[in-house]
């Protein structure tokens, strides 16, 4: 095979005789898929038949003689992964990547989405959404959980986001971020020493002054209608400390009525954990206990960060089936700390991986997240073992899918599931010699090997090039808009 032989004639690859499943539209030939039951260190070769948006079947070799009209992708020398699920991401600051360094989270929050920023334009929102999705696709992600702050909310901004996702062709689990407690109210112990003129800067990322009942509006305009293709809805209360009990209860009621996943932030910094320990004596200082006792903790919840969870809180998450989404890049850059990775695993808590904001993380790169996940377990629990590479891959795929309540659709390679697939070129030195596919994916690969990406059975990235739109033009447009923004600040 040569690097240009993306599509090979059926006759050239015909090497076996199992009948193709009815309705096959595309065939991945001879790759090494990481199916749930395979040895991910040494996955065997298998063909994957795709019928429209779904995986129709897997075989050691499908018969191609009668496969007229079926597109065949030569996947020999490629690992085939379930597309990564970026389970925590915010598209609102895509244009701010690389702008900040050496600041802890609390300082970063003063710069993230300050309310006095000039209003955004739909064109800028469209451009940044496209650019972010493009980076995610090129690094092998097929699904992103966008927890988006649109402040102040405008319907045309929301439409611009949806249009960008529809055009780029990525799958999105979309949640608007909201809160109803002012930023200054979330830091009672520092309130008096925090200069009054800076109070407005202490944004919660979703201020309560907005006139709109955002959740009600979201329900009326989106939840009650069929979601756009490749889109599923979620709810995004910013954090239990930034939301009243009433707002969390309303969120839970809505989540249960529509069976929606819920994404929120918890214990990102040590200060946030200290805040809970000092202000919630009736719950032993534990936010998760407060939520359990208020009846708002259930399997639909995903807690981003979870760096400073106490063991009783980890046990409560496991008991209620709630999950975490770890974001090791952002946690390190923002000087937040390291999540209790081993304790979460031992308790059986569902774990997804995310890449968080572009201004604090900054790369949307699941290979970096997986590698840090495996390495940081040595700090969170510095005793030998267990191996983490397979666990990291499962978190980056199945864990994120299960957290989105989409485990029956994505996150795994199996007949009947969506054909959301990422092909990694093993002819790169990264995989020579091939000692363990899983370990080399996690410890050696950094994204260079991502060659083809399929979403919903369609090739969206082919030979490292986006097919759905002009990526260079999208990036150029985003650069122009970024220059204008930073010239104003």
Sign of CA dihedral 289, 85, 457, 425: negative
Cβ nearer to Zn ion, comparing 148 with 288: 148
Q: Which residue is nearest to Zn ion (CB)?
A: 356
Size of the site for Zn ion (CB under 5 A): 1
Choose the binding region for Zn ion from 117-125, 131-139, 208-216, 356-364 (rule: CB under 5 A).
356-364
Residues of this chain, 33-92, that bind Zn ion according to CB under 5 A: none
Choose the binding region for Zn ion from 195-203, 255-263, 335-343, 352-360 (rule: CB under 5 A).
352-360
Cβ nearer to Zn ion, comparing 105 with 474: 105
* R_g of the chain, CA atoms, integer Å: 23
Among all chains, which residue has been given the structure tokens 């199916």?
35
Cβ nearer to Zn ion, comparing 93 with 456: 93
Alpha carbons 58 and 51: distance in angstroms, whole number: 12
Choose the binding region for Zn ion from 2-10, 19-27, 110-118, 354-362 (rule: CB under 5 A).
354-362
Angle between helices 471-488 and 122-138 (to 10 degrees): 130
If one counts every other C-beta atom within 10 angstroms of the C-beta of residue 337, the result is 20
CB of 90 to Zn ion, least distance (A): 6
Cβ nearer to Zn ion, comparing 135 with 356: 356
Cβ nearer to Zn ion, comparing 364 with 436: 364
Residue 484: partners with Cβ closer than 8 Å, 6 or more residues away: none
Cβ nearer to Zn ion, comparing 62 with 303: 303
CB of 161 to Zn ion, least distance (A): 17
Q: Classify burial at 472, counting beta carbons within 10 Å of its beta carbon; exposed 0-12, middle 13-18, buried 19 or more.
A: exposed
Choose the binding region for Zn ion from 101-109, 119-127, 350-358, 375-383 (rule: CB under 5 A).
350-358
Cβ nearer to Zn ion, comparing 356 with 425: 356
Alpha carbons 408 and 234: distance in angstroms, whole number: 17
Alpha carbons 227 and 235: distance in angstroms, whole number: 14
CB of 220 to Zn ion, least distance (A): 26
Choose the binding region for Zn ion from 355-363, 380-388, 425-433, 477-485 (rule: CB under 5 A).
355-363
Alpha carbons 327 and 306: distance in angstroms, whole number: 9
Alpha carbons 218 and 225: distance in angstroms, whole number: 10
CB of 229 to Zn ion, least distance (A): 26
Cβ nearer to Zn ion, comparing 205 with 450: 205
CB of 147 to Zn ion, least distance (A): 6
Q: Can you say how many angstroms the Cα of residue 95 is from the centroid of all Cα atoms in its chain?
A: 18
Alpha carbons 353 and 89: distance in angstroms, whole number: 10
Alpha carbons 319 and 299: distance in angstroms, whole number: 9
Cβ nearer to Zn ion, comparing 275 with 302: 302
- In the shown chain, the binding pattern of residues 241 to 280 toward Zn ion, with x for contact by CB under 5 A and - for none, equals ----------------------------------------
CB of 304 to Zn ion, least distance (A): 5
CB of 263 to Zn ion, least distance (A): 8
CB of 350 to Zn ion, least distance (A): 18
CB of 171 to Zn ion, least distance (A): 19
Choose the binding region for Zn ion from 162-170, 221-229, 285-293, 349-357 (rule: CB under 5 A).
349-357
Short-list 177, 59, 51, 49, CA closest to 113: 177
CB of 43 to Zn ion, least distance (A): 33
Alpha carbons 201 and 112: distance in angstroms, whole number: 9
Short-list 9, 87, 479, CA closest to 265: 87
Cα-Cα end-to-end distance for the chain: 52
Cβ nearer to Zn ion, comparing 40 with 308: 308
Alpha carbons 177 and 406: distance in angstroms, whole number: 20
Is the CB of residue 352 less than 8 Å from the CB of residue 397? no
Report helix, strand or coil for 323.
Answer: strand
The residues that touch Zn ion, with contacts defined as CB under 5 A, are: 356
């Amino acid at each position: 095979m040569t690097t240009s032989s993306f599509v090979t004639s059926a006759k050239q690859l015909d090497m076996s005789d199992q009948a193709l499943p009815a309705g096959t539209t595309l065939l991945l030939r001879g790759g090494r898929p990481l199916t749930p039951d395979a040895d991910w260190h040494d996955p065997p070769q298998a063909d994957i038949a795709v019928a429209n948006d779904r995986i129709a079947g897997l075989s050691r070799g499908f018969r191609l003689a009668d496969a007229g009209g079926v597109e065949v992708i030569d996947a020999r020398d490629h690992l085939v992964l379930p597309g990564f699920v970026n389970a925590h991401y915010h598209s609102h600051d895509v244009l701010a990547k690389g702008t900040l360094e050496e600041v802890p989270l609390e300082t970063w929050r003063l710069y993230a989405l300050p309310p006095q920023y000039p209003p955004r334009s739909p064109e800028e929102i469209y451009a940044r959404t496209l650019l972010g999705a493009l980076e995610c696709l090129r690094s092998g992600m097929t699904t992103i959980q966008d927890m988006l702050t649109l402040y102040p909310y405008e319907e045309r901004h929301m439409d611009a986001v949806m249009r960008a996702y529809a055009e780029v062709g990525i799958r999105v689990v979309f949640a608007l971020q909201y809160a109803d407690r002012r930023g200054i109210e979330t830091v009672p112990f520092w309130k008096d020493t925090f200069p009054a003129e800076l109070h407005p800067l202490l944004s919660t990322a979703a201020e309560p002054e907005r006139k709109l009942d955002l959740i009600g509006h979201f329900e009326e305009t989106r939840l009650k209608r069929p979601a756009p293709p490749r889109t599923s809805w979620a709810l995004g209360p910013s954090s239990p400390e930034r939301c009243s009990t009433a707002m969390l209860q309303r969120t839970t009621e809505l989540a249960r009525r529509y069976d929606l996943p819920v994404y929120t932030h918890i214990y990102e910094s040590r200060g946030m954990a200290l805040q809970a320990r000092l202000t919630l004596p009736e719950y032993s200082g534990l936010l998760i206990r407060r939520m359990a006792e208020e009846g708002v903790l259930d399997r639909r919840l995903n807690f981003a960060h979870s760096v400073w969870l106490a063991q009783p809180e980890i046990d409560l998450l496991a008991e209620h089936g709630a999950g975490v989404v770890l974001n090791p890049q952002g946690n390190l850059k923002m000087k937040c700390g390291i999540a209790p990775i081993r304790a979460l695993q031992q308790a059986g808590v569902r774990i997804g991986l995310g890449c968080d904001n572009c201004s604090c993380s900054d790369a949307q790169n699941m290979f970096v997240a997986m590698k840090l996940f495996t390495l940081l377990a040595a700090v969170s629990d510095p005793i030998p073992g267990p191996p983490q590479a397979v666990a990291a891959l499962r978190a980056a795929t199945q864990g994120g899918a299960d957290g989105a309540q989409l485990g029956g659709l994505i996150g795994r390679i199996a007949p009947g599931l969506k054909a959301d697939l990422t092909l990694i070129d093993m002819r790169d030195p990264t995989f020579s010699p091939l000692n363990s596919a899983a370990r080399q994916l996690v410890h050696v690969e950094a994204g260079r090997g991502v060659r083809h990406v399929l979403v919903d059975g369609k090739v969206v990235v082919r030979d490292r090039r986006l097919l759905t739109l002009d990526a260079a033009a999208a990036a150029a447009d985003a650069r122009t808009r970024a220059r204008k923004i930073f010239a104003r600040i």
